[in-house]
Structures are given as structure tokens and as C-alpha cells.
Amino acid sequence: MHRTEAALDAFMPLAATSDHSLVEGMASEIIDGMGLDLEPGTPAYRQFLADLNAARLAALKTGHARARGDLEACTESPLVARVRQRERDKAKPGETLLELFDRYADVRKAEEGKRDDTLAQDRKVIEQFAEFVGVDRAVASIKPEHVRDYRDTMRQLPPKWRDRADMRGLTMREAAEKARAADMPRIALTTINKHLSTVSPLFAWLIEERWDLTNPCTGLFFKRVKGKNPRPPFGTERLNQVLASPLFTGFEADGKEHRPGTVMATDWRRWIPMLCLFTGMRVGEAAQLRADDISRHKSGAWMIDIMHAPDRGQTTKAGQSRAAVAHAKLVEMGFIDFVKARRAHGADSRLFPELLANERDQLGAMPSVFWRDYLTRIGVKSGADGLGAHSFRHELADRLRAEVGLVDDQIAVALGHDQKSTTGGYGAVRQGTVQFLAPVMRRVRFDGVVFPAVG
């Protein structure tokens, strides 16, 4: 028997039983010589021994084959095979996922007018996907199995896992393993679909650009199961509970708005939810209002210009300005008097200068967080029931449906959604004019709602 065959025969049983005794000495020399941080007994150390075992076995097989005359023989260990495949799958300069996304984002911004914030959030999704499949991986090498693995790994993660202190510094796979072991709550299927809805259009655009690839996301979206409205309205009983709470009747002090007292709110804490309830505008739209955005229409109705003017720090979700009509109850509660007082600071002064933008330059974040916490403290909100500042806006939508008899398309116009219908593209007049909105708002009665007394 040739000595190479003897060595191979001796090593094969050890490799088959994951006995690493013959490579432990070699492992110690490599770790010491290269200064590696691998502690015996750790998962990383055991993986290192397994890779050395596989490499040793591959080397013995190659040596034995060459001793028998096959001078071209070359048996790769799984590790070497993975490394070589990774090199073949490496993206060319300028063609990594993130680099291609940046080119794609430029096109979306130019052709579709996508907002910088939207593109920045999309980029975060692509960053996470790239970290999972390989930041320098060629897009053509990304197959459906990689997307499926990403999707299924994400399914194991808890919501906002990157913000958790106990998962800081972990890779996505490591975080998923930890979450699985601790039986943590899982990310919603709709959230995962949103991530895939960010990755998939990038591949669709590359295909349009005549890249030789297929979309690996096709067919991998979860079938969406419709459940309860994730952002529900309050309903009469809960709305009355909110309006009878200390913030509207008198509270103890700033930071203790949920406790009864004699302090009255005359700032954004009071007016932003009322603007959402009585005009249907979004929290972020209300937060950015300026004194000169409010005026009286020739019909006598008070109107509010919801401006898309990035140079003034005002943006809308649709990227267009629109008008809203204030319900008479908003005027009765003193909102116009509040606006007039703010005008003393300048016609273009912000109505709510106390609000500070978050890292995404959003003024609506602060009131959204405040109202989520406040509703919890007064016992209206429980856990992830979907109630929040947006529920005031959704309450108006329900009233438009139940009390005015509007159909959903009309409600969408009243709340600021342009209808992308065939006729919607005819003419130059925008949908949702004051002539349409004023009589509609007069018909909203808020049946059963007890509003706080006007002081």
C-alpha cells in the first residue's frame, strides 16, 4: 500500500466522525501565528477545526490521486470551493447592489419625483439585503433561493430588531437564531413583503436596462391575508374618552399630561389631533403648517393650504399641494384665534415651532410618539392595537362614510388622495376643491361625540 493511501485510510474514519484530534495541533499553530481571536470550545473554534479537517482530507485525496499518476488531480475542500465560487460571483467595479441601487434611485427621482426620504428608507432595505447575500456579490449570481433564505430568516426576527440593545452588533442570521431561541415576537408578513417590494423593483429596472438576469423575487411574496385595519379609527366611545381626558380638560404639568390638573394645552398637543380630526390631514402635514397657510375662502369657509414646498421645509406624501377645509367645530374650539396669535410672530411663522425634526427630517415624529404614549397612559390604547395620532384622521374617514354617505373614492379625495383614474387625468383643475369640500365638511355631524367646553 502506498503511504498516501495509508494516510488517507487512517484519516477517513476521523473525518467521518468529526474527530478533530489530528488537526488540533495545526489549529493552535495557525491561531498563535496569525494572532486569531478563537477560543477553544466556541462555535467559531469548532467551525475552524471542521474546515481544517475538510482541507486536510482534500489534500490527502489530491496527494493520493497524484501518486497514482493523475498529475492534474485537485480535490477542493468545501471551504476552498466556497471561496472560489465567491470570487466568481464577485461584482465588477461599480456594479454592487448598493451602487446599482444608487443609479436606480437617481432615475426614480428624476422620472417619478420620488422623495429623498423615501429613497433613503429604500436604501436601508437594500443595505440589509446586500449584507445578507454579500455586499460585493454580482447581481446575476443572486438566485431565488437566496431571496427565499433572506425572507425566511427575516421571518424569525422581532420587529425593529436593529434597534434592540440585545441584538446590537449581530448579523441578521445571528439575530434570527437568538430570536428563535428566545421565542420573540416576529416581524409581520406585510413588513417582509414591503422589503421584497423594495428589492424586486431594482431587479425589474435592471432587466429593463437589458441586464441578462431574471428577477429572483418573483413568486416569493407572502400571500397577504387581510385582517383588522392596522390603523383603525377611534369610534365614538374611545373618542369621547380621549376628549374627556386631562389634555383637553386640564392636566397637572408638562410631561404629566395624563394626570388631572389646571394646566391647559394651547400648542401642538391639542391642535395637531384636532386638525387631523376636523380636516383629515396627516400628522406630518399638520406639524409643518405655517400661519399664512390658513385663510378664509370667498365662500366663508376657513381653508388650509397643505403645501408641498420643500424650500420652505414643507412636503406632502403625494408631492403636491392641496386644500383642506376646516370643520366648523375646529373654528369653534378656537383654532383661528390660535393662528392669529401666531401671525404676530410673522405671517410665515410655523404654527408649532416647538416641534423638532427627527433624523429623517420629519416634524410629525414627535407628536406621533407623544400621542402613542398618551393614549396608552389614559387607557385608550393597548399594545400594538394600531391606535395612534393617525386615528383622528381615520375617524373623519369613517364619519364621511357613515354620516355623509361618501363612497371610498370620494373619501380619498376629501383626505387628499388624488384618484388615478382615466377621468382624473382630464383637465387642469385638481380634485378636492373648496367648492367640493366645504359642503361635505358641513354635513359631518360627529354624532354622539361630546366635545370639551370652549373656555
Q: Indicate the range of 87-91, 156-160, 276-280 predicted with least confidence.
A: 87-91
Is 215 part of a structural domain of the chain? Answer: no
Q: Is residue 249 located within the same domain as residue 391? A: yes
Is 417 part of a structural domain of the chain? Answer: yes
- Residue among 288, 296, 274 nearest 395 (CA): 274
pLDDT at 322: 87
pLDDT at 29: 79
H or E stretch covering 325: strand 322-325
The whole-number average pLDDT for the span 424-437 is 56
Is 450 part of a structural domain of the chain? Answer: no
Q: Is residue 340 located within the same domain as residue 415? A: yes
pLDDT at 86: 57
Q: Is residue 167 located within the same domain as residue 199? A: yes
Is 319 part of a structural domain of the chain? Answer: yes
pLDDT at 287: 95
The whole-number average pLDDT for the span 398-405 is 90
Is 214 part of a structural domain of the chain? Answer: no
Q: Is residue 340 located within the same domain as residue 378? A: yes
Q: Is residue 40 located within the same domain as residue 119? A: no
Kindly tell me the burial class for residue 357, based on how many C-beta atoms sit within 10 Å of its own C-beta (0-12, 13-18, 19 or more): middle
Rounded CA separation 232/238 (Å)? 11
What is the pTM (predicted TM-score) of this model? 0.60
Q: Indicate the range of 38-42, 106-110, 302-306 predicted with least confidence.
A: 38-42
For 286-330, the pLDDT digits (tens) are 999 999 999 999 888 899 999 988 888 888 887 788 889 999 999
Q: Which of 89, 105, 122 is the last residue of a domain?
A: 89
- State which residues form the domain around 187: 97-209
For 147-196, the pLDDT digits (tens) are 999 999 999 999 989 889 999 989 999 999 999 999 998 998 888 999 99
Number of domains into which the chain is organized: 3
For 412-424, the pLDDT digits (tens) are 888 876 555 433 4
Q: Is residue 124 located within the same domain as residue 33? A: no
127 pLDDT above the threshold of 70: yes
125 pLDDT above the threshold of 80: yes
Q: Measuring CA to CA, how many Å separate 422 from each of 130, 317, 419?
A: 39, 21, 9
The whole-number average pLDDT for the span 334-342 is 94
Which CATH number do you get for residue 285? Answer: 1.10.443
Is 35 part of a structural domain of the chain? Answer: yes
Q: Indicate the range of 20-24, 38-42, 432-436 predicted with least confidence.
A: 20-24
Question: What are the residues whose beta carbons fall under 8 Å from the beta carbon of 39, sequence distance 6 or more?
Answer: 45
User: Cα 386 to the chain's mean position, in Å?
Assistant: 16
252 pLDDT above the threshold of 60: yes
Q: Is residue 266 located within the same domain as residue 123? A: no
Q: Is residue 62 located within the same domain as residue 102? A: no
- Looking at per-residue pLDDT, the higher value among 442 and 33 belongs to 442
Is 182 part of a structural domain of the chain? Answer: yes
For 261-273, the pLDDT digits (tens) are 999 999 999 999 9
Q: What percent of the chain has pLDDT over 90?
A: 48
Q: Is residue 79 located within the same domain as residue 143? A: no
Q: Is residue 127 located within the same domain as residue 188? A: yes
H or E stretch covering 323: strand 322-325
H or E stretch covering 104: helix 97-112
- Most confident range (mean pLDDT) of 65-69, 74-78, 369-373 is 369-373
The 3-state DSSP class for residue 302 equals strand
Q: Is residue 124 located within the same domain as residue 61? A: no
Q: Is residue 305 located within the same domain as residue 401? A: yes
Q: Measuring CA to CA, how many Å separate 112 from each of 116, 290, 315?
A: 12, 27, 15
The whole-number average pLDDT for the span 355-372 is 91
DSSP state of 423: G
Kindly tell me the burial class for residue 306, based on how many C-beta atoms sit within 10 Å of its own C-beta (0-12, 13-18, 19 or more): buried
The whole-number average pLDDT for the span 103-118 is 85
4 pLDDT above the threshold of 80: no
77 pLDDT above the threshold of 60: no
H or E stretch covering 107: helix 97-112
H or E stretch covering 47: helix 43-67
Question: What are the residues whose beta carbons fall under 8 Å from the beta carbon of 428, sequence distance 6 or more?
Answer: none
Is 216 part of a structural domain of the chain? Answer: no
Q: Which of 68, 89, 110 is the last residue of a domain?
A: 89
